[in-house]
Amino acid sequence: MNHPGPPRWLTGVVAALVTPLTGRGTVSDDSVGRLMASLKPHVDAVLPTLSSGEGALLGRRQWRDMVAATVRYAGDLPVVAGVLAPSTEIALGRARAARRAGARAVAVTVPPEARVSPEATYLHFAQLARAQLPVVVYLEPVLSPTTLDLDLVHRICRIPAVVGIKDSAGDPEFTRRLVESRPGVRVFQGLEHLVGRVAGVDGYVLALANVEPELCAALARDPTCPVLTGRLTAARARYGLDGPDFVRHLKTELHRRGVLVSAAGGAAIATPVEGNRP
């Protein structure tokens, strides 16, 4: 089968959403609505339930509710559902659920069972094609140890279902080599501190867009503008984006603004609620 190529909508700024929760650990539908309303005028797509959405901690019910609420409030804005699953079987099930919910694509990392060899990693993404939904490969060094194997990445990109890469490897030289090699899919930079460091990327997947969507949109148009990069540096410091606790900072700010009903995360996510099984 020939590779159909990436969809036209997959470009620009993709907001990597936080997951709004109530104090009981359930997804706050109203908060999702307010967050989406603040983003829709500025971003090109949204990505719930990935790292910024604490996706590895979400149970099945929380994941399903967040994806469904995002699709409902997104309207015509494309939704790429994040999948951080412990196995290919669970990832495939969530990809199918995302398709039923109305997501346009899924962003998927490599589960532990597929990290044993390059062939297992390849087969993981090949099997996701059974969900009949476009796949964005999430490259992140902790979750994807094969990140810097460019030959393997190219082989994965030839799978017809694969349409993009979210590159959070943190190595601009790898990103540069990837872009220059023309993998046939969209390449997105996924780290704020590397915005503007590599020419030719197709867009940015940014957690910062939760709180500064206009700045992110401006950076996508002119990523090397000194004024904008200065504002980006200040925002990274303000929201702790270079540290491990950045999600808490983002939620605290969104709660202060009245967008989120609560800044709950972490412990609230880990608290079992009815129907919330991994």
Task: Give the pLDDT confidence score for residue 265 in this predicted structure.
Answer: 83
The predicted model gives 62-70 an average pLDDT of 98
In a domain, 2, yes or no: no
What span, in angstroms and rounded, lies between the C-alpha atoms of 32 and 180? Answer: 37
| Residue 255 C-alpha from the chain's centroid | 21
What span, in angstroms and rounded, lies between the C-alpha atoms of 10 and 185? Answer: 10
User: Vertex 196, ends 193 and 200: CA angle to 5°?
Assistant: 130
What span, in angstroms and rounded, lies between the C-alpha atoms of 19 and 37? Answer: 15
Task: Give the pLDDT confidence score for residue 53 in this predicted structure.
Answer: 97
| Residue 250 C-alpha from the chain's centroid | 15
What span, in angstroms and rounded, lies between the C-alpha atoms of 54 and 266? Answer: 8
Model confidence pLDDT, tens digit, residues 102-150: 999 999 999 888 888 899 999 999 999 999 999 999 998 776 665 668 9
Model confidence pLDDT, tens digit, residues 28-45: 999 999 999 999 999 999
The predicted model gives 179-183 an average pLDDT of 95
CATH of the domain at 170: 3.20.20.70
* Six-digit token string for 76: 């015509």
In a domain, 130, yes or no: yes
Task: Give the pLDDT confidence score for residue 148 in this predicted structure.
Answer: 64
Distance of CA 81 to CAs 95, 100, 261, 263, Å? 8, 11, 22, 22
How many domains, in total, are found in the chain?
A: 1
Model confidence pLDDT, tens digit, residues 237-248: 999 999 999 999
Q: Please, how many CA atoms are within 13 Å of residue 75, restricted to the half-sphere of its CB? A: 8
Q: 142: domain range?
A: 12-270
What span, in angstroms and rounded, lies between the C-alpha atoms of 218 and 193? Answer: 15
What span, in angstroms and rounded, lies between the C-alpha atoms of 233 and 246? Answer: 14
In a domain, 7, yes or no: no
What span, in angstroms and rounded, lies between the C-alpha atoms of 259 and 122? Answer: 40
In a domain, 41, yes or no: yes
Place of tokens 């410091």: 237
In a domain, 277, yes or no: no
In a domain, 223, yes or no: yes
In a domain, 51, yes or no: yes
What span, in angstroms and rounded, lies between the C-alpha atoms of 237 and 221? Answer: 22
pTM above 0.75, yes or no: yes
In a domain, 5, yes or no: no
